[in-house]
Amino acid sequence: MAPSGSLRIPAAVLLLLLWGAPWTHGRRSDVRIITDKNWRELLEGEWMIEFYAPWCPACQNLQPEWESFAEWGEDLEVNVAKVDVTEQPGLSGRFIITALPTIYHCKDGEFRRYQGPRTKKDFINFISDKEWKSMEPVSSWFGPDSILMSSMSTLFQLSMWIRTCHNYFIEDLGLPIWGSYTVFALATLLLGLLLGLFMIFVADCLCPSKRRRPQPYPSRKLLPESSQPLKKVEEEQEADVEDVSEEESESKEGTNKDFAQNAIRQRSVGPSLATDKS
């Protein structure tokens, strides 16, 4: 009986080890995944966020340290997260990621770029000693929730969508590269035309152009006061016409008188010449 009992103890231990092995090996990670849908959770509480790419060797070397640091997250009251920039291009544009891996610290919506050593101990000291207080936070103009960075995120997402469409045209539809470029060029021209027409329509609605209408001739009965300058002008014109007519009549009378005097002289000169001849 003793040998059978001694065999049962190692068997029970072996079963426990086999039962607990999968759970130990496949332990759930304490690192949270941040995407375009839930990134606004970073604006509340304290966070440490790593931006990485699966193909990056430096990021691969950092992963064990980051996972170990995440195990202390509950004790330090800090959330440890990571962002895959290959899957979330919008967030890489929103945070202006120019190098990998990049680590940010966030406290109640204030973001600071971590520049210290990248070991588990250094991460823990950075949070426990509140070393982040000595760092200057990112300006509100360049914060991830600002209008500027939201526009940058949209541009990054648009570029990724264009790249996806380009690959679809070449790989799935079998178009040549120049054919794909032609499609994008025509789409750009059409979009620019529509955008220009829309801007003209908006400008015309906000600042309509003033069209000059022909002014009607003011009547003397309806507008006696405003027609006074016109009356003066008409009277002056009539006076000028009368003066011109008087001058013309006087000049005509003067020419007639001269003509009559010349005729009388010719008549008086004629008989005198006749008497001289005789």
Tell me the C-alpha distance between 28 and 18, whole Å. 18
**Model pLDDT, residue 119:** 93
**Model pLDDT, residue 276:** 47
- Per the CB < 8 A criterion, the answer to whether 46 and 77 are in contact is yes
Collapsing DSSP to helix, strand or coil, 69 comes out as: helix
Nearest to 131 by CA among 112, 108, 118: 112
**Model pLDDT, residue 14:** 40
Question: Would you please indicate which residues are annotated as catalytic (active-site) residues?
Answer: 56, 59
Show the low-confidence residues of the chain (pLDDT under 50): 1-25, 220-223, 269-278
Tell me the C-alpha distance between 51 and 93, whole Å. 11
Tell me the C-alpha distance between 76 and 13, whole Å. 35
How many other CB atoms are there within 10 angstroms of residue 103's CB atom? 20
**Model pLDDT, residue 230:** 59
- Per the CB < 8 A criterion, the answer to whether 209 and 200 are in contact is no
Strands 79-84 and 110-113: unpaired
**Model pLDDT, residue 264:** 56
**Model pLDDT, residue 252:** 59
**Model pLDDT, residue 101:** 93
**Model pLDDT, residue 63:** 94
**Model pLDDT, residue 60:** 94
Tell me the C-alpha distance between 50 and 56, whole Å. 13
Q: Has this prediction a pTM greater than 0.75?
A: no
Helix, strand, coil tally for the chain in percent (to 5): 65, 10, 30
